[in-house]
Structures are given as C-alpha cells and as structure tokens.
A and B are shown apart, each in its own frame.
Chain A
Amino acid sequence: MLTLEDPKKATASEATLIDSLLAEQKQLTAVERFSQQHENSSQILQEKSYKDLIPIRKPSTGEQYSFAVDLDKCTGCKTCVVACHSLNGLDKNESWRDIGELVSLDSPDQQTVTSACHHCADPACLNGCPVGAYEKMEDTGVVKHLDDQCIGCSYCELKCPYGVPKYNKDLGIVRKCDMCHERLAEGEAPACVQSCPSGAISIQLITTDEIRANAAKQESIIKGAFRSDYTLPSSTYTSSRKLSESMVPGDEHSIKPSHAHTPLSIMLTLTQLSVGVSAADLMTRWLASEWSLSLQIPLCVLAVILGLTGLASSILHLGSPKGAWRVFLGLKKSWLSREIILFGMWMPVLLGHTALTIAGQNPSSLPDWLPTITPEILNLSAISTVVLGLISVFCSIMVYVDTMREFWSLGKTTSKFMGTTALGGAISLLALSLLFSDSSPFIIWFTAILSVIGKIYADTISLKAAKDSEWSFAKRSALIQLRSLRPTMIIRWVMMTLTIISTLIAVFIPLFAIIAILSLLAGEFFQRQIFFQAVVTLKMPGHLER
C-alpha cells in the first residue's frame, strides 16, 4: 500500500495506477463481449408496433397518403419530434415535426397538437416557389422538396400557413417533411408514426375529393390552424371529446417579433424609392420640362444607385443564389417569380433611360451615326421605366399579400410600399431641386407634405388595434410594434422627423437635402423591418415561448 507523506513526490506506482485507469477508460469492450442477436435479421423488429398504423396498399388514382392524428391518444410526450430528428439524420436543432398545445382560459381543457407537413392538395409552398423546388408526387401525394433545386429564398416559409418549411442556415436552403415516403414505399412507417408510444399518429389513404369535402365541412383542420380552403391540407385530427370553443394555441399571446429579413427590407425600400424617384423624373418632364432640365440627370442617377443597391441586396437574401437563374419556372403561379423577372426587366430599362438622358443632354459627345435623342424618345423611356417599376412594386406588394397574413393585406401593404414610392419621389425631388435648381415649386412641397401625412397615417393606423379589447392578429401586430419592437419604432420615427426637419432647413442650407434623403432611406428601411417583424406568423398551435 502507498504512503503519501509528501504529496509533491509522485511515485512510480501512483502514476501507473492513474495511467492504467485512464487507459482502461479508453477501452470499449461492450460490443465485443455482447453479441448481437439480430445481426443478420432481415425482419424489421419494430414492425409489430406500427403495422396497423400504415395502409396495407398503395394510393390509387385520386388518392394520397395523409397524416391522421388521434388526439385522444396524444398525451404530450413529444417523442415524435425527436424521433423525426434522429431517424432522418437532421441537423442539431432540426425536426420536421412540431408540437404545440391548445389551452382554454375558461376550462381546464388542454390538448397537445403534433403536426408535420400536411401534404396539401393545393400546396401554397409549391405555388409560391419561384424555382419549382417543390413537387407533388403523383403516386403518393407527398409534397416533396427538392433540396438541390432550392435557392433558399424562404418564400415558402411565408407562403405555408402552417409554418412547415424551415430555413436551414448552414445549408442555405429550406427543408421539410417528406412523410418518409421512401420508408412507406418499403412498408415501413414514417419516423413519427413508428416512435409514438401511444400510436396516435397514423398514415391513412385519402382522396382529393375527401380533402376538399373536409375543407368545405370544417373551417380548419384543428383549432388555431389556418382555414383549410387555402391549401387543402390532407392531415386529419380526430377526437372523441369536443375541444372547447374557447381553446387557443399555447403561443397565442406571444408577441415575439418575426424574422427581420434585412436584405429584403433593403431591397424593398430601395427599389420602391427608386421607382418613386423615376416617377418624379417623369412628372417633372411632363409638367415643367424646362425647369426639370437640371434635375433629370441627378434624378436618374439617384434612381439607378438606389435600384442597383436594392437589387444587389436581394441576392444577399438568397441562401443558395446559384440556381436563381431558374426563377422563370414559377411564373405561372408565383408572385415572387414575377417580381424577380419584372425587376430584372425594369433595371435595364432604367439604365437605358438614364443613359439616354445623359446622352440627350450632351449631344456633342455622341458619335454622329447615332440618331438624335428626341424628347419623345426620352418621354417614352421615362414612361417605360416608371410603368415597369410600378408593376414591379405591385408584384412586390402581391408577394406579401399572397401569404394571407392579416398585417400584409392588400390595403396595408400597398399603403406602405406605394407610400414609400410616393414619399421617395416627393422628398428626392424636393431635396434635389434645393441642391440643383433655383426654385422648388409649391406643388412639390404640397406632394411631399401629402405623402408625409399619408405615411404617418399608414404607420399609426396599424397601432390602433393595441387598444382593442378582442385579441386578434391586428392587436398582436400592434403589440409587437409597441412592445417588442419599441427601439426600431423609435428610430423609425426619429428618422421620419429628421427627414422633415432637414428638408425644411435645406431651404436655407441646400446641403441639408442630403441629410433629408439619407434619413428618408433609413426611416423607410426601419419601417420595412417593422413590416417583416410585426407580422403574426401563420403556423400550427405552438407552446409558450419567451
């Protein structure tokens, strides 16, 4: 036995014991020792627990697979979420199944709600995808995401009213549930089905007609879910007890801001401002062609700078921009596809118009063989720029309107986006006229003041709902702005004020016009951040968060 009188003096045998224990710790002997009983088994041992939970035959024409959840059996263990993650080899925090709950403030009733993709008959993700990265499989009805086709624009995240597709930052694409269709093809159950200790999730065959009938019969597949007639979800939720009417999702009172989508905020702000500047250019050409002469080039150049920066920023939004050339694939249904294509057409026209304007004002620098640039040509190019620009902004509006979110309704989005265009045009014109011209006609002042008032109105009207007694999407959006986004709101209003003040000062000190334009940019940018963050994300019932 050791005697350890002097702790500093390590003896050989001490070291030996520690070393041998450390070495022993590295030896993994279990597997050599305990042989596997099922090494060569071709039979799947788990089969017995799920064979009644999947159909015995494949879907026939007009039929598809669907998830059916027996709410009576689901007791909230949440295993399905983790098993999906493990059995599908997903990333650390990735699962294609989500869990939430319905709770009531009037009774002790509660219900856990498990959900994955509803493999809709009319999938919004598929309809919205600009590059055709979704397919509705003919034989199974599974809505399949093509990972290598995806450009990571995340639009499907906004389009799906159930919050199913999720962006994977590391991969730069979205991924989603494929109902383990390869397992089903081999007679195996999907991960969630085979892991549920209560057998609450099963796969059923359902016809498209039944899906339609269900959507017509009941507003949504379960309380708290979006109305079914939008995408025709195939999942069914059944319960022997009637879920109480007062039930709300566990995250109903969440006022957590949604994703800010900064590159998109920049893109939207700048393209809308740019179109506004072009519109100002056109207006002055029409209404005061003499006076406008000194402003035409500055306006065009400003529009180009804003527009190009905006479009460049939109590329930063994409997780996998390499495949973005495929954006024409979605033209038939996707507003995003249309928006990208149209902005893509608008920019060359704007550049051409700018070139013509510059050339038109410097005819001597042009080679002789070029035809003369007549005012008619310039008017035509100015009109084309503005018309294309406005259609593009309209597409931008529709991109959001088409996501069915209350905060992004046609009226609200149009007032915000077109408001930016109007304000951008008016303020830029005013600022540039103070910088480059001798006079600023009253009409410009009038337009500028009008658009400022319009903007203030559009912004504040959305806050009114905060005082509603009824809990609603509008109230949530208002509370998100007033509470969670308070700093952004303050900056937005400071910038707005700064724009007004510096425009006024610019009457005396023209250089302040630059501050006016910069603060206008910033103010509208933060407004657009609020646009993205204050929206209530449509999703399946979730749980308390904060």
Chain B
Amino acid sequence: MKLKSKLLKKIPSIVEHSGPKTRQLLRTPGKFGLGQVPRSITPDYTTTMVCGFCSTGCSLNIHMKDGQPVNLTPDSNYPVNLGMACPKGWEALEPLKAKDRATTPLLRNKQTGELEEVSWQTAMHTFTDKFKAVQEEHGKESVAFISTGQIVTEEMAFLGSLTKFGMGIKHGDGNTRQCMATAVVSYKQSFGFDAPPYSYQDFEQSDVIILIGSNLCIAHPIMWQRIEQNKLNPKIIVIDPRTTETAIAGTQHYPIMPKSDLTFFYGIAHILIKNGWIDNDFIKSNTNEYDDFATHVEKFTPELVEKESGISIEQLENLARTIHEGKNVSFWWTMGVNQGHEAVRTAQSIINLALMTGNIGRPGTGANSITGQCNAMGSRLFSNTTNLLGGHAFDDPAARTKVANVLEIDETCIPEETGLAYDQIIDGIHNGTIKGLWVIATNGSHSWIHQDRYNKAMKKLDFLVVQDMYSSIENAELADLVLPAAGWAEKDGVFINSERRIGLVKKLATAPGQALSDFNIFKLVAQYWGCGEMFKKWSSPEAAFKILSELSSGQPCDFSGIQDYDLLESNRGIQWPCTKDDIAGLTTNNERRLFADGKFYHQDSKAKFIFSDPVPVAEPTSNSFPLILLTGRGTSAQWHTQSRTGKSEILKKLYPESVYIEINPSDAAKLNIEPNQMVKISSSRASVQATAYLSNSVQEGQTFMPMHYAKVNRLTQASFDPYSRQPSYKFCAVNISTTL
C-alpha cells in the first residue's frame, strides 16, 4: 500500500493546480488593518511614516518583517492621502536597497584620480583640514555649502547652525532655490510671512479651482485625488502653455504663450476691475496699495493681453467671469510660475487676484503655492540660509538674541546678514571667491540650470565634498570627498509638507555599511571641526526638534505646542501654527487654513498688493534658435535627477529610457522630422540628442523636455528672478536639426 501511494505521489498529475511556482504568489490576510498581502512578506508589525519624495506629504504604512521593512501600503487614515500614494511612494523602499549606495567615505586619490575607500576618521580629518586650509588662505567666506529640501528638518537646522554659527561659513543655500524661493519671497512681501494659507481640504471645498503652471495629475497625483473628492462639480481651470494631463482633465484650458503669465494675470485683474467684480470691503479692510495696483493694470487691456498671451478676448472675459461667479475660488500654482524670470511678480499677480476678489481665508479659497520637495517647507523655516532659524531675519538683532538664547550659543557667532544665493555661489566659484564647497543631498551636476557652467565650477574648486546616499550621482563623480549618508527611513525626523503639516520620518531600516544619518555626520563634523561643545544640546533628532519648536515660538509658524514626536504620531501630523492652546482643537479639526480672520502678518495686519511692469525674457527666440524649450516633470514615476526613482525596475517601466523632446507636428513637418527620429537640439550653450516625440501637447514654436534626463540642463539658460534668485527653467531658445 505504502509503495503504491509513494508511486502515485511520484506520478505527476495531468493538471498541476499547485506547486512551488504557484506557491510563490499566494496571498494571505495581512492583519494590522491590511487586506491580503503576498504570503512571503506577511508583516510582523507595521508602522507609518511620511513619504520622502514630494511635498504632498503622504503617509505610508510600512510592513515590517524580522526587523526590516519588506513592503508598504499607503496609510488609509492619514488626512493627507486617505489611503493612496503615487508610484514613487509605493516604491519608496526600493531605492534604499540599491547596489550603488555609498557605504564608506570615499577620498579622491590625487595620483590615480580615483575615489578610494577611507575610514570616517580619515574622512573627517581631511574634511576639516582641507576646508580650514581654504578658509585660512582665502577667508572664512571662501567655503560654502549647498543643501536640500530632501533631508529632515532637524538635519537642515543642524547643518545651517553648524556651518554658519560653528564653522564661520557665510554662504549656504539649498536646492529649494530651484523650486520654492519664488513662493517664499512672494508670500513674505504680500502677507508679511512665508505662509501658504491652505489645507488640502480646500481642494474639496472650492467651486472654482484654478491651476497655474501646475501639472497636478502628474506632479502631485494625490492632490488631484483631493479634487476628485470634490462634490461641488467644480470648474477646473488650467493655465499652462502645454496641454498637460491636467489640462485634459480640467474643464477649461488656457494655453498662454510661455512667460506671458504676468501680463495675462494683470489682464484678468483689469477685466475684474472694469466689471466691478471685486470685493471692495475685503480690499478696504484687509489690504494696502490696491489703488495703485488698479491704476497699474489699466494699461493691460484685453486687446494687449490677447496679443501677448494668445488667448482671445472672449476667453479672457470668460475666465474673469468664472472667477467672479465662483463662490469659493482657489488659485494654485507650481513650477510653471515659480521657475520664471519674473516669477515673484507673477506669483504676486495671482495673490492679487485672490485678495481683490476676497478669495482668501474661507474654505475652498486661497492663493496657494504647491511646494515641490518633501521638506521644502522645513527648509524655508529652518535651513538657516535665507532666513535665520525659524523664519527669522539675520539682520534683526532681537531675533539673533532669541536664537542665541535658545541655542545657548554666543550671539556674536550669528551672522548679521544673509549669504549668497545658489547662483551667486556658483558665480563666486567662477570668479574665485569661493574655493571650497560642501554639497548635501542634491545633485546640481544634473539639476542646475546651464549645467556645463555648473560642472566647470565644480572642477575649479580646491575642495568639493558631496554627502549623499549614492556615490554614483553626477555631482559625486566630481567630488574630492564623498560622505555616505543614510536615507529616508533610515533616520528620525520631521518633514513639513505643502499645507504646513509636520509629519514624522522614522528610522526603521538599517543603513548600508558605514553610512550615517546626515544628523550624525553633522555631529562628527562639529566634533572634528572643534565646535562640538557648541552643539551638545543637539543630542538627538528629537532633542533638535525641541529646539526648533522653541525657536518657532512667537512666530507665525509657532508650533511650540508640539514638544515631541509622540504628539505628531497620535495626531496624524500637525499643521503649523500649533501652540499649546491649539492642541485640544486638533481632534475635531486637523485640517486648518490661515487668515480666517483676515489678519495678515505685516505690522498693520494687512496684505499688500505688489506689482511691477513685465520685462522680456532673457533669451528670446531668434533666427538661429527659433523654438522655445520648456522643461518640467515627465511622469509621476520620476523624481528630479532620478538618483532614487532610477533604482526601481518597476518605475523604469513607466517612462522612456532615454531622453525625448516633444515637438509640435507642424514644426516637425517643417523640419522634416519623423516620429521617433533622433534629432539634435542646440541652444547657444550646448547641443544634445534626443528622440523626437511628435505631440500636440506643445504648441507650434514650442518644445518640451523632461528634466529627469541629465542632458536637458545642458541646454537651459541661466536667468533668474531678481527677487527670489530662482532659475528660469521654463524658457530658453533652441534649434532642432535632423543632422546629428
């Protein structure tokens, strides 16, 4: 009998419904409120944390098994993302496992020119010796740093304090200059403080949603989800030169000419005023300079605006009427506005529209800047670059005293003025005033405008330190010293999202090799530099958070009510402001907006109309370069320079492998370009090759290239908004040819 059953077992059945390959894909209930999950990675426990890509600030539920993260699902109960995430969020753990993670410090061998592994000790000695030598020879100001919107707030503040108070560095800036600087300056000037007024709930409560230079569907899909939740059947107006996914999904699209935006919005203001479609009461009690503004926009007649923007008078009036007829109109802008040559005034022209129609402070309203990076808001308040810690001013003696007291440091350590902006630091390298540079968690060799000039600057430096998760990034290839950093999910801290929500990042994955959190690297630098004592209060990220909370006290961004991480955890993230008195109310309302009382942050509590005449772009098209090149996000699966998203095989399936350029079919016909043909794109700075993608999403005379491919910024032209110093990625002149 036994033999028979044994034999039977050996005989394979005609149809195999199970077996080792079938078992690989079995699913099982995940517990912890999860549904079915893959059986091989059933979690032992789960914990939530905020995503580390964009500023939406989604919470992700991390599935832990045997002490390490094995999978994740979006957090079903977080007020931001309501159980959803974009492709990047779903794949957030994948980049941590990449083979090219930096695992030890690397020092360039002068003889061989190669980066070689060294100990932390050697790395730290070299770091301090080299930078100190540079400072001794060329002055303290000759060493600068460039930071990021990607690390936690505690680390940003530590870096800013260490460099400026401890190391005597004066010039430091962040890659947030590339994304948020315009919004910062605009809000500061208009409202008196850098304060995006909204909560994401406003997307759901608006009956007219105006998206300007924002491809929300792709850049912030989870915010678009909030629009989908809107039950008011809202009018969704998209103002963008390109017919983006968002323009298709919206109800009205205004494809204005690139960089005609300032004129366009003055023209809308003109029509609103002409028709009396303004909120006189609000203007009178809550704003200043309105009359001058009204005079200013008189000359922006519909005829002029039609000519400049390409939008017909009828459509212009239709837009103005839509704004007028909306009960709660919200204005949202992103990089299409921020990355312009007169970006601040453009952003303010949008703010002006909200102010003059009284669309601010109520649910579903606001002049709302949607931030880019996960911690751009943290950087705005605590990077200690443009602003003194906590949104203070360097030139304010009282603020310096306050900061010195909280930090328990000597007040004279605090510089009395702001340092150079990113572009000025690059200029400084070129003109020889800056000789040493420390780059943290950013990849300017890919992302900075007019890339060849940036890379030339890197090569001019006496000493370049790059601190990053990956030793493979373009900027690290030029570095003298690479410091291996732990990444998101390998360290504790907080991010502040677009709607001012402070959310937790947790250390739940082991960093590879000898990689250290940026916080710990700063600790080491402080010790080796000889100023460790000064930062003894910064013992842990949470201790640092307490310092930040204290620093915010009395500011518009006051979150002194939050003293520890537990409160953030239990409340599912908390928006600033949050004083002790605000805590109790969070249980009933954790989605709050600003300016409900019509009080702004200027001395007289009034907002200000700010305006000036439009100026031409720095590089208009010409006979040699007859086409406009626009750059921006390609797909929701790509993040900036791709140092992380490029590590996920599954994300790679979602976008073309190599660079492409969108060309209008009629331009292509003129140039004899066939679909998918390889073409050469030239600007007066460089020539690059790309696949031609014929598409009507760009208008005639315009082209578009996604910024995620390193070549693209070889073409872009380095012009800057004069107030925010933000680079203008949205306009440069190029030529396309089929001769490669």
Binding site for B on A (CB under 8 A): 1-4, 7-8, 10, 14-15, 17-18, 21-22, 24-31, 34, 36, 38-41, 43-49, 72-73, 75-79, 81-83, 85-90, 92-95, 99, 103-112, 132, 146-150, 171, 173, 175, 180, 182-183, 186, 188, 194-199, 252-255, 323, 326, 329, 543-546
A-B contact pairs, 27 of them (CB 8 A): A17-B527, A21-B520, A21-B523, A24-B520, A30-B506, A34-B566, A44-B34, A45-B33, A46-B73, A72-B249, A75-B245, A79-B221, A82-B91, A86-B72, A87-B36, A88-B25, A89-B40, A148-B17, A148-B19, A183-B27, A197-B84, A197-B228, A253-B674, A323-B12, A543-B656, A546-B656, A546-B691
B46 touches A197 (CB 8 A): no
Question: Which residues of chain A are within 8 angstroms of B217 by Cβ–Cβ distance?
Answer: 75-77
Binding site for A on B (CB under 8 A): 12, 14-22, 24-25, 27, 31-41, 45-47, 49, 64, 67, 71-74, 76-77, 82-87, 90-91, 120-122, 124-126, 128-129, 217-218, 221-222, 224-225, 228, 243, 245-249, 255, 486, 490, 492, 506-511, 514-517, 520, 523-524, 527-528, 530, 532-533, 565-566, 569, 635-637, 649-658, 660, 665, 674-676, 691, 693-697
A93 touches B652 (CB 8 A): yes
A148 touches B21 (CB 8 A): yes
A28 touches B507 (CB 8 A): yes
A-B contact count (CB 8 A): 291
Contact among A85, A196, A199, A546 with B676 in the assembled complex (CB-CB below 8 Å) = A546
B228 touches A198 (CB 8 A): yes
A146 touches B45 (CB 8 A): no
Known: A30-B47, A76-B245, A77-B217. A2 touches B528 (CB 8 A): yes
A188 touches B35 (CB 8 A): yes
Query: What distance in Å separates the Cβ of B334 from its nearest Cβ neighbour in chain A?
Result: 15
Residue from A7, A329, A546 having most chain B Cβ neighbours under 10 A: A546
Known: A2-B527, A34-B569, A543-B656. A76 touches B636 (CB 8 A): yes
Contact among B38, B83, B523, B656 with A545 in the assembled complex (CB-CB below 8 Å) = B656
Question: Which residues of chain A are within 8 angstroms of B86 by Cβ–Cβ distance?
Answer: 77, 79, 197
Known: A77-B218, A197-B228. A88 touches B517 (CB 8 A): no
Query: What distance in Å separates the Cβ of B211 from its nearest Cβ neighbour in chain A?
Result: 12
B507 touches A30 (CB 8 A): yes
A79 touches B85 (CB 8 A): yes
B125 touches A38 (CB 8 A): no
B696 touches A183 (CB 8 A): no
Contact among A34, A79, A252 with B47 in the assembled complex (CB-CB below 8 Å) = A34
Question: Which residues of chain A are within 8 angstroms of B85 by Cβ–Cβ distance?
Answer: 79, 195, 197
Cα separation A26 to B530 with both chains bound (whole Å): 26
Query: What distance in Å separates the Cβ of A44 from its nearest Cβ neighbour in chain B?
Result: 5
B243 touches A108 (CB 8 A): yes
B76 touches A173 (CB 8 A): no
A30 touches B649 (CB 8 A): no
Question: Which residues of chain B are within 8 angstroms of A17 by Cβ–Cβ distance?
Answer: 523-524, 527
A81 touches B654 (CB 8 A): yes
Cα separation A80 to B203 with both chains bound (whole Å): 23
Known: A46-B83, A149-B15. A1 touches B691 (CB 8 A): no
Contact among A86, A109, A110, A254 with B90 in the assembled complex (CB-CB below 8 Å) = A86
Question: Which residues of chain A are within 8 angstroms of B72 by Cβ–Cβ distance?
Answer: 86
> Which residue of chain B lies nearest to A144 when distances are taken between CB atoms in the complex?
B17
A93 touches B649 (CB 8 A): yes
Contact among A43, A87, A111, A252 with B37 in the assembled complex (CB-CB below 8 Å) = A87
> Which residue of chain A lies nearest to B510 when distances are taken between CB atoms in the complex?
A26
Question: Which residues of chain A are within 8 angstroms of B691 by Cβ–Cβ distance?
Answer: 544, 546
B656 touches A1 (CB 8 A): no
Contact among B222, B245, B515 with A197 in the assembled complex (CB-CB below 8 Å) = B222
Question: Which residues of chain B are within 8 angstroms of A79 by Cβ–Cβ distance?
Answer: 84-87, 90, 221, 636
Cα separation A94 to B651 with both chains bound (whole Å): 10
Given contacts A43-B33, A106-B696, 12 further A-B contacts (CB under 8 A): A4-B530, A17-B523, A17-B524, A25-B510, A39-B32, A77-B221, A78-B654, A81-B650, A103-B697, A109-B248, A329-B14, A546-B691
Question: Which residues of chain A are within 8 angstroms of B14 by Cβ–Cβ distance?
Answer: 132, 326, 329
B33 touches A41 (CB 8 A): yes
Question: Which residues of chain B are within 8 angstroms of A75 by Cβ–Cβ distance?
Answer: 217-218, 221, 224, 245-246, 248-249
